Amino acid sequence: MEVLGTMAGGVAHDLNNILSGIVSYPDLLLMQVPEGSPLFRPIQVMQESGKKAAAIVQDLLTLTRRGVLVKEALNLNEVIVAHFDTPEHHKMISFHPGVDVKLALEDDLPNIAGSRIHIEKTVMNLLSNAAEAMPDGGQIQVGTARCHLDRPLKGYAEVNMGDYVVLTVRDTGTGIKSADIDRIFEPFFTKKKMGRSGTGLGMAVVWAAVKDHNGYIQVESTEGRGTCFSLYFPITHEARTVIDAHESITAYQGRGETILVVDDIDAQRQIASDLLTQLGYRVTTAPNGEAALALLRKTRFDLLVLDMIMDPGMDGLDTYKAVVALHPGQRAIIASGFSETERVREAMRLGAGPYIKKPYTWINLGQAVRTALTNPT
């Protein structure tokens, strides 16, 4: 796992930089090409392919627990319902027409502190896993509830006592053999059909995501009768930030604010600059932290977009430390295809935020910039 983690980190950083051109430039083109154009759908397909490749990279990072987990207050019911309207869910149902999925979601469910993309992927993997266990059809029941844990769970020497939201995914499938049940979360251990179920990392990714959310997971299975996965996530009392998924580009248009983009990859600087310019910002770029500091000694910028990993020289965190010493309260965004969690968190503690993952899209970059510019430091 340590070797795999080291490999995944390096590969993820390089691949996400490469994939940025396949994801970000189609996004820029789609901002300018009308939906009725014969070019619109081919460009969209190109972008979707890039996003799928980026998702596989994220699976590797989640598996090795080296991805950066940016948490927000989430309602698990809303995440589940939203997943049922995704192309991935419809594709799964088309592969398994005999599978009936039922929802049993508790009303007024408390929020959890989580990463939406990781929770969505967890739900998808659990449903796919359940469907694969029912080759002749059957029923999957997806449920949520609130519970209080005050004693150890099976497989855990101790648990943190408190209130949790529990997600259960129960199927009526073939069950898991007793010889296999202790191995289902191992990387690359799978009984699924390759080509239908993604990378074969699904259950290992589920385990890693639950651990990263300070949660617990239990499995109960009987051969010939089915399996039930129960995932426990700690409750949070933080309020949710509701984002309208149908907001138009005008919601993120700039008003000529100045932005300095700092990245050691020329293509990344150009992509960020093109997207931000299209959104109405005035953009300057710097190839490293040292060059950024030289510019900042001469002028101030409304916002910095800092790449976390820059080699050789100062990385995003070191650059930001030097920047706030020069200009206390400087607003900034940390961006990366991959970064160690603690360095991102340290930058956020110093005042940088929000964090965004590459590849860039106009909506994730636009949202982050608007948040950073409007929220007090």
pLDDT tens profile 313-324: 888 889 999 999
Whether residue 336 contacts residue 308, with contact meaning beta carbons closer than 8 Å, is answered with yes
The helix (H) or strand (E) run that includes residue 273 is helix 266-278
pLDDT the model gives residue 16: 72
199 pLDDT above the threshold of 70: no
pLDDT the model gives residue 339: 53
373 pLDDT above the threshold of 70: yes
According to DSSP, the residues that pair with 258 across neighbouring strands are: 282
Give residue-wise pLDDT tens across range 81-94.
989 988 888 888 99
Same domain, 97 and 159: yes
Domain count, the chain: 3
Same domain, 222 and 259: no
Same domain, 99 and 8: no
pLDDT the model gives residue 195: 46
Same domain, 83 and 176: yes
pLDDT the model gives residue 349: 83
Query: Does 68 reside within a domain?
Result: no
Same domain, 218 and 290: no
Same domain, 10 and 34: yes
Provide mean pLDDT across the span 61-80: 74
178 pLDDT above the threshold of 70: yes
Query: Does 71 reside within a domain?
Result: no
Q: What is the token pair recorded at 280?
A: 């109405």
Bridging pattern class, strands 226-234 and 162-171: antiparallel
Same domain, 34 and 102: no
116 pLDDT above the threshold of 60: yes
Segments forming the whole domain that contains residue 105: 76-234
The structure's pTM equals: 0.62
Query: Does 172 reside within a domain?
Result: yes
DSSP 115-175: -HHHHHHHHHHHHHHHHHT-TT-EEEEEEEEEEEE-SPPTT-S----EEEEEEEEEE-S--
pLDDT the model gives residue 194: 45
Which residues have C-beta within 8 Å of that of residue 162, sequence separation ≥ 6?
Answer: 148, 149, 234, 235
pLDDT the model gives residue 283: 96
Over the chain, what is the mean pLDDT? 83
Provide mean pLDDT across the span 340-350: 76
Query: Does 190 reside within a domain?
Result: yes
pLDDT the model gives residue 245: 43
The helix (H) or strand (E) run that includes residue 356 is strand 355-357
Of 218 and 190, more confident: 218
Same domain, 229 and 332: no
pLDDT the model gives residue 41: 86
Final residue before a domain boundary, out of 179, 203, 234: 234
pLDDT the model gives residue 36: 86
